[in-house]
Amino acid sequence: MLNETHDPALRSWVASANQAGADFPIQNLPFGVFRRQASHEQWRIGVAIGSNILDLSQAAEHFSDLDQAALAACRASNLNQLMSLTPAVWHSIRLQLSRMLRQGSGLQATLEPLLLAQAEAELALPAAIGDYTDFYASIFHATNIGSMFRPDNPLLPNYKYVPIGYHGRASSIRVSGTQVKRPHGQTKAPDAEAPTFGPCRLLDYELELGFWVGQGNQLGQPINIEQAEDHVFGVCLLNDWSARDIQAWEYQPLGPFLAKNFISSISPWVVTLEALAPYRCPAFERPADDPAPLAYLDSSANRSAGGLDVVLEVSLQTASMREAGQAAEVLSLGNFRDMYWTFGQMLTHHASNGCNLQPGDLLGSGTISGPNKESRGCLMELTWRGQEPIQLSNGEERRFLQAGDELIIRGWCGNADGLKIGFGECRGVVLD
C-alpha cells in the first residue's frame, strides 16, 4: 500500500538525501547496526539518510504512540526485537522517521546532533541470524546450470512445482567488506582415480537478494500465502560465494555443503518492504504450457504484485585494476522480476510443513539470472563453466575469481520520476 512516505516530492533537511541518484533518500530509510569507527561503543540501530546515519536509539525519544516494547526494540543492539514486532509497528516507526526528517519538520536542530557520517561508521550484521535457507528461484539460472551437466534434461521435473532450497550455514554470514579467504576442500579431476584435498580453483560468486524474516510462526503452524509478506521485515543484497570444483564432487546425493558454507556476504542495510511498495510488479509470467502453482502457493495478490522490480549490478575490480587506479568493470546487469518464484512463495513453502521461522532468519533467493547472457548472475554461467572467459578492458581475462579480485554487488529501484531506492553495496576481496 502506498502512503505519504512514498511521495516522490518529499525532501529532507539532510541535504545529501536530496542529491540525484542517492541510494538513501527520505523515501527509503533502511535500518542497520553501527558504531563509530575505531571505537568500543555499543552497537546500536541506525537509519540511513543520504550519506549519514540517524541514531534510532536517541531519535526514538521523540516518537509518539509507541509502546514500551517498540521503544525497547529501537534501543536494542540489533534488529531482532524490531523484526519480531508487527507490520503496524514497523509502519508507525517509518512514518514518524519520515515526518521528523522532512524539510520543515522543525526537528532539524534537535536531530542533527544524532547524525553520523557513514564514512565515519563501522557497520555490523543487522541481526543475529538464527537460520539461513538458500533457494534456487531463477528458472534461467537453473536451466543454464542444468544444461552444463544434463544437456538432454536440464530442468528436473520438480522445479516448476517446488521452490527448491537448502539449509545453509548462518554462522559464516558476514557483512559487506569482509575479506573472502579461498576455501580448501576435496576435488576430483575427471581423469583421476581418487580425489585430492587442496585450495579451490573455481571460486565463484552468486548474485542474490536476502529476505529477512520478521514475525515468526509456531512450530506446526504453516504460513498462508496471503499473510506471507507480513512475515518479511526487509531485503538486503547477498553474495553466496561458491567453490564450484568442491561443489561438483560433493553435491551428490545430499546437495551443497562445504562448497557453500565458508562465507556468504550481505549488505549492511535492510530496505523495508514498505519502502519497496512503489516497485512491486506482477509475478513472473509462466509460459502457457507450464503448470500453475499449487493452490497453497497461489493468490491473486501474489500473481498481480508478488514480484520486485530491483535492478542488480555486478562489478569486478582486479588487483591490477586497483593498482592502476581503474574503476571496477561491470560484469552483468539483471533484475529480480525475472525470478520464477516470488519471495512470498519461498517463505510460504518453507513454512508449509510447519517449520518454525524466527525473527532474524535469512532467506536467500538463489542466483538471480535473466534471459540474456548479460543478465547471468555468476561466473559459472557467464563463462559457461570457464569455457568462454571474460575479457576485461585492461587485457586480463577471468574464468573464475583470482586472488586480489574484489566483487561488488549493487542494487536499486527506480522509476520515471527519477527517484532511486538503493540497497548500498555488498563487497568482498578474495584472498589466497
Q: What's residue 61's pLDDT?
A: 94
Q: Which residue has the higher pLDDT, 417 or 91?
A: 91
* Residue 316 Cα to chain centre, angstroms: 18
Share of the chain above pLDDT 70, in %: 100
Cα separation, 145 vs 130, in Å, equals: 30
State what percent of residues in the chain have pLDDT above 90: 96
Return the amino acid letter for 166. Y
- CA 51, CA 30: separation in Å to the nearest integer? 12
Residue 415 clears pLDDT 80, i.e. is over it: no
For residues 186 and 213, what is the distance between their CA atoms, to the nearest angstrom?
34
Question: In 285-342, which ranges are continuous DSSP H helix?
Answer: 300-305, 319-323
User: In angstroms, rounded to a whole number, what is the distance separating the alpha carbons of residues 198 and 219?
Assistant: 41
Grid coordinates standing for 399?
574464468
The predicted-structure confidence for 212-239, as pLDDT tens digits, reads as follows: 999 999 999 999 999 999 999 999 999 9
Q: Is pLDDT at 240 greater than 90 in this prediction?
A: yes
What is the β-pairing status of strands 173-175 and 264-266? parallel
In this predicted structure, the answer to whether residue 255 has a pLDDT above a threshold of 80 is yes
**Could you tell me the three cell numbers for 395?**
587485457
pLDDT at position 1, please?
84
Give, as one character, the DSSP assignment of residue 12.
B
Whether 426 contacts 408, CB under 8 Å? yes
Rounded mean pLDDT of 23-31?
98
Give kind and range of the element (H or E) at residue 242: strand 242-243
Q: Residue range 365-391: average pLDDT?
A: 98
Q: What is the pLDDT of residue 416?
A: 65
What does the pLDDT look like over 272-308, one tens digit per residue? Answer: 999 999 999 999 999 999 999 999 999 999 999 999 9
Model confidence at 28, pLDDT cuts 50, 70, 90, reads very high
Q: Catalytic residue numbers?
A: 141
**How high is the mean pLDDT of the chain?**
97
Model pLDDT, residue 206 = 98
How far is residue 127's CA from residue 177's CA, in Å, rounded to a whole number?
17
Query: Does the pLDDT of residue 403 top 70, yes or no?
Result: yes
pLDDT in tens, 365-377: 999 999 999 999 9
- Among residues 250, 267, 221, 243, which one has the least CA distance to residue 422? 267
Q: What is the DSSP letter of 41?
A: P
Q: What is the pLDDT of residue 252?
A: 87
| 8 A C-beta contact, residue 107 and residue 96 | no
pTM, 2 dp: 0.97
- Across residues 9-30, what is the average pLDDT? 97
pLDDT tens column, 35-58: 999 999 999 999 999 999 999 999
